[in-house]
């Protein structure tokens, strides 16, 4: 049980970091800041892939998140 508590905290941190980068990317896209959005997108995809590797996230779910972020980023590029 003690090990479960430690692993739960580690998993919570990993998920939180991934969600933070996704949120930062979405915020940068809404603000229209292409440069920041691209750098945040790279970090978000990195953390999404890491969470798939650690079995925190299903691969299809990860693909959906990355696809939606990429599509929003592409819309921002087209607008500039």
The C-alpha atoms of residue 3 and residue 71 are separated, in whole angstroms, by: 40
pLDDT at 43: 98
pLDDT at 17: 97
- Complete domains list, the chain, with CATH: 2-79 (1.20.58.110)
The C-alpha atoms of residue 36 and residue 31 are separated, in whole angstroms, by: 10
pLDDT at 79: 82
Full-model pTM: 0.90
The C-alpha atoms of residue 75 and residue 18 are separated, in whole angstroms, by: 22
Per-residue pLDDT of the chain (80 residues; tens, 9 = 90+): 999 999 999 999 999 999 999 999 999 999 999 999 999 999 999 999 999 999 999 999 999 999 999 999 999 999 86
Cα atoms found within 13 Å of the Cα of residue 26, Cβ hemisphere only: 11
Using the Cα atoms of residue 65, residue 68, residue 72 and residue 75 in order, give the sign of their dihedral.
positive
């Amino acid at each position: 049980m003690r090990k479960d508590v430690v692993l739960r905290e580690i998993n919570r941190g990993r998920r939180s970091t991934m969600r933070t980068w996704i949120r930062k990317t979405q915020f940068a896209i809404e603000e229209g800041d292409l440069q920041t959005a691209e750098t945040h997108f790279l970090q978000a995809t990195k953390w999404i892939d890491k969470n798939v590797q650690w079995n925190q996230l299903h691969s299809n779910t990860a693909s959906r998140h990355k696809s939606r972020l990429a599509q929003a980023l592409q819309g921002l590029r087209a607008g500039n």
